[in-house]
Amino acid sequence: MTSVHHSLRFRLASTFAWFGALVSLLLSLGLSFATHNLGERLMDETLRAEIEDTISRRLRNPDSLPPATISVRGYVHVPGRSAEDMPPELLRLNPGKHQLTLGNIPYRVAVVDQGDKRYVMLFNEMRQRQREEQFLFVLIAGALIMTLVSAAIGWWLAGRVVAPVTELARRVSKASPEDEVLDVAKGFYNDEIGKLARVFGAYLKRMRAFIDRERAFTADVSHELRTPLSIIQGAVELMEDDDRLDEKQQKRIARVGRAARQMIDLTSALLMMARENTPDEPVEPDCDVCDVVRDAVATHRHLVSAKTKVELAYCSHPRIAAERTLLGIVVANLIRNAFAYTESGTVAIVVDDNCLTVTDTGRGIHEEEIGKVFQRHFKGSTSTGAGIGLSLVKRICDRYGWETVIESTEGRGTTAQLFFAGYS
C-alpha cells in the first residue's frame, strides 16, 4: 500500500503549505524591516523637533533647560563652561545622527552645532526595541498560523483535486477484463482525468477482445491437438499388444508412443501456462517429487548410451504443492538434457529436502552461453533441440517461485539444481 507521505494528496498539500510558509516569511521580513525603518525615522524626527524646540527656547531664554524625560534627554554644551553633566562620549561625536550605548541602554543620538553651542539630543531606544520584538513575535506567530492554515486548505483542496484520480484508480483496480458491464469512464467530466479514464476503458475493451480470442484459440488448440494425439496414443497401445511385431517394429512403435505422451504432456503444460496464475488457483497439494523423478528417468531411459551409468539417490521424499504435469516438464527437461548430452560417464540424480540435483559428465556448456540457456529459442553450439525446453522450465519456476541454477564446464559436464519453494 502506498505510504501517505508519498501520496499525491500529501505532496500537493505540502507544496501548498510550503508556498504559504514562504509567502508568510517574505511578508514578515518585509513588515519587520518596514517597522524598524519607520521606528528609526520617527525617532530621528522626534530628535530633530526637540533640538529645534530647544534652540528656539534658548534664543528667547538662554537659561532654558533642554528636555529630560524618560524617552528624550538633551544636552547643551557652551564652550568655556563646565560640561560635568554631559557624558564624555557625547563630546567626541561629530554633528549628525549616531547610535550609542550608555549604561547598557541603547540611544539614538542627534548632534547639531549652532553657533558656538553644541546641542545633543538622546532618544532611549529600549521601549522601541521591546515593541519591535513584540511585533516580531506576532509576525512569527502569524507566519506559523498562516502555514498551518495553508496546509489545512491545501489538504482540503488537494482532496478535491485528487478525488477523481482516486476514484479512477479504485475503478481500474476493481475492473476485470471479464466484466463487460463496468465502464470506468462513466461519470467523469471531459477534462484530463476524463480522457485518462476513457483511455483505460479503451484498453480494457481491447483486453476483453484479446482474452476472448485467446480463450477461443485455447479451446480450439485443446480440441484439435488432444483429439488426434489421443487417437495416436490409443493406436500405439493397440500395436504394442500385437505379438506379430518383431523387436525392431516394437522399438519404433514405443518411440512413437513416447513422442505422443510427451506431446500430450507438453500441450497440457502450455495450456496451463496460458491460464492466468491467480493466488486461489487450485494445485495438487501432495505432489511426490521422487515419483515424478522416477517417471522421468523411466521415460527417457532410452536416451542413455551404453557407456553411461545412471545413479539415483533419494536422500529425502519431499512433497510440494504444484501441478504434477508442470513439475514433470521441469524434471524431464533437466534429466533428458543430462541423458542426451552424456556420451559416456555418469549421470547422478539426487533428491534432497528442497532440491533436485542432476549432475552429468557430458559435453558441458560454453562459458559465454551459460547466461543464455533460459532464453527462448536459444540453442547452444552443441544443442540439437529447438531451444524452448529450458525457457519453459524458467517460466514454470517463475510461476511457483522455484529457482534453477546451472553450472557447467565445457568438456567436463554440467550440474543443474532445482530449488523448491514451500516444500514440506
Looking at the predicted structure, is the pLDDT value of residue 295 above 70? yes
What local confidence, expressed as pLDDT, does residue 283 receive? 53
CA distances from 319 to 285, 353, 388 (A): 8, 9, 27
What local confidence, expressed as pLDDT, does residue 291 receive? 92
* Dist CA 337 CA 340 (whole Å): 5
* Dist CA 195 CA 197 (whole Å): 5
Longest Cα pair distance anywhere in the chain, in angstroms? 156
Q: Scanning the structure block, which residue is given the C-alpha cell 513588515? A: 31
* Dist CA 125 CA 40 (whole Å): 9
Looking at the predicted structure, is the pLDDT value of residue 423 above 80? no
The amino acid occupying position 176 is S
pLDDT tens-digit profile of 82-132? 555 788 888 888 999 999 888 889 999 999 988 888 899 999 999 888 988
pLDDT tens-digit profile of 387-400? 567 888 888 898 88
* Dist CA 286 CA 318 (whole Å): 9
Instruction: Give the confidence band of 236 by pLDDT, cuts at 50, 70, 90.
Output: confident
DSSP β-ladder status, 308-314 and 287-288? unpaired
CATH 1.20.58 occupies which residues in the chain? Answer: 192-271
Alpha helices in 61-191 (DSSP H): 88-91, 126-174
What local confidence, expressed as pLDDT, does residue 1 receive? 42
For the segment 33-43, the average pLDDT, to the nearest whole number, is: 90
CATH 3.30.565.10 occupies which residues in the chain? Answer: 280-419
pLDDT tens-digit profile of 137-147? 999 998 899 88
CATH of 280-419, one of 3.30.420.10, 3.30.390.10, 3.90.550.10, 3.30.565.10: 3.30.565.10
Instruction: Give the confidence band of 311 by pLDDT, cuts at 50, 70, 90.
Output: very high
What local confidence, expressed as pLDDT, does residue 159 receive? 85
For the segment 186-199, the average pLDDT, to the nearest whole number, is: 82
Q: Scanning the structure block, which residue is given the C-alpha cell 527462448? A: 376
* Of 267, 262, 314, residue with least CA distance to 289: 314
pLDDT tens-digit profile of 326-337? 898 899 989 998
Instruction: Give the confidence band of 349 by pLDDT, cuts at 50, 70, 90.
Output: very high
Looking at the predicted structure, is the pLDDT value of residue 38 above 50? yes
Q: What is the pTM of this model?
A: 0.50
* Dist CA 122 CA 14 (whole Å): 49
Instruction: Give the architecture-level CATH label for domain 192-271.
Output: Up-down Bundle (1.20)
What local confidence, expressed as pLDDT, does residue 221 receive? 66
The amino acid occupying position 240 is E
Indicate the SS3 state at residue 8: helix
For the segment 234-253, the average pLDDT, to the nearest whole number, is: 80
* Of 284, 238, 219, 303, residue with least CA distance to 230: 238
